[in-house]
Amino acid sequence: MTAPVDDIQEVLFTEEQITRRVRELARAISRDYADRTPLLVSVLKGAVYFLTDLSRALAVPVEIDFMAITTYGGTKAQSGVVRLIKDLDVEITGRDVILVEDIIDTGLTAGYLLRLLQARAPASLRICTLLDRPHRRILETLDIAYRGFDVPDRFLVGYGLDYRERYRHLPFIGVLKDEVLAVRAAPDAAAALPEA
């Protein structure tokens, strides 16, 4: 039996690098939100690892909440249309909301979520993403207040990022071996990219 780590071709960010960067982001957020209580909002499940580490590194009081979404027949990459299957538990009107993302790729998911949240009249609304893949951006107007790392156009797993629900628990972020994508995935690896 092979271990999940054997399916990794290359580690892009080690556990230590991620920890250091998450602390830097937390410091910036703590500075910007001094005297406020931001509400960290994430989409299940990819951003959960990042959100929990980020929240624990914050020096300001903080609350967390979650949404869950699903895509319509795999067409999200083109349309950005996603369906909300779990809404937030709390009201966000008048709150300082930070949308915490694992990775922003085309930006369509984040764009959809921003519109949804903005309609509820929060006091402020910003994006914090651990990873940013700007080369694949379709929604070019997306304003990212906090970003951890820029990443290349390669399929990544670990620290919350999955391939078919696996590898999320890896403590580092790495590139999956081509043969793993080829064996388990379909026709082209790129098709695996936009799954939320």
User: Interface residues with Mg ion (CB under 5 A)?
Assistant: 46, 196
Binding mask 40-79 for ligand IMP (x = CB under 6 A): ------x---------------------------------
CB of 90 to ligand IMP, least distance (A): 22
Contact yes or no for 133/106 (Cβ under 8 A) = no
Nearer CB in complex with ligand IMP: 7/102: 102
- As given in the structure block, the two tokens for residue 56 are 């624990």
Quickly list DSSP for 8-76. EEEEEE-HHHHHHHHHHHHHHHHHHTTT---EEEEEETTTHHHHHHHHHT-SS--EEEEEEEEESTT-H
Please report, as residue ranges, which positions from 74 to 113 form the binding site for ligand IMP (by CB under 6 A): 101-110
Is residue 155 a contact point for ligand IMP (CB under 6 A)?
yes
Is residue 181 a contact point for ligand IMP (CB under 6 A)?
no
Q: Which of 96, 105, 132, 162 is catalytic?
A: 105
Q: Determine how many CB atoms are found less than 10 A away from the CB of residue 44.
A: 13
153 is a catalytic site residue: no
**Binder of residue 25, out of ligand IMP, Mg ion, none (CB less than 5 to 8 A by kind):** none
Beta pairing, strands 146-150 & 124-132: parallel
Cα-to-chain-centroid distance, residue 169: 14
Question: Which residues contact ligand IMP (rule: CB under 6 A)?
Answer: 46, 101-110, 155-157, 161-162, 193-196
